[in-house]
Amino acid sequence: MMLYLIKKYTNIFQIYTETLLHAGRRECIQLAGQMICKTAMEEDYPVPTVPAGSPRIKCTRGTALVLDAAKEYFNSSADLSDKVMDLARECLNLIEDRSPALQEEFDLIAALALLDDFGISILPLQGIRNLKYTET
């Protein structure tokens, strides 16, 4: 019975955090960050006595949630100066451990910024599609 309750609460916290990440507001993303462990070392956190007092989502799962939100913001942006690009960066900055997937997203945004510096304006979604076609 206790294991079921723990699993149920874990799912509730994940849904809550995912909703905050996709809310489109910096304050909500920062609040979601309070629910996620920032590094793998925090994964062995003790069960908090205060419900909102410490992270509830392990770093590996938090990284997946953050990547999904960042990709959604990135794909929905009109161009590099779109405010949702800042939200994508804000999501990515929630996790301190730089997994290869997180670093890839950071690098993609940085590459688009470099292209923009050279006067090449490309929509982020177009950039992803072109990268996928050239890799195959």
pTM over 0.85: no
Q: Is the pLDDT of residue 29 over 90?
A: yes
pLDDT confidence of residue 129: 45
Q: Is the pLDDT of residue 130 over 60?
A: no
pLDDT confidence of residue 11: 82
94-133 burial: b if 16+ Cβ within 10 Å, else e: bbeeebeebeebeebbeebeeeeeeeeeeebeebbeeeee
Q: Residue 114: which residues within 8 A CB-CB, separation 6 or more?
A: none
Q: What is the CA radius of gyration of the chain?
A: 17
pLDDT tens-digit profile of 6-28?
566 778 889 999 999 999 999 99
Bigger pLDDT: 52 or 101? 101
Query: Which of these, 16, 34, 101, lies nearest to 64 by C-alpha position?
Result: 101
Asked if residues 25 and 17 have their Cβ atoms less than 8 Å apart, the reply is no
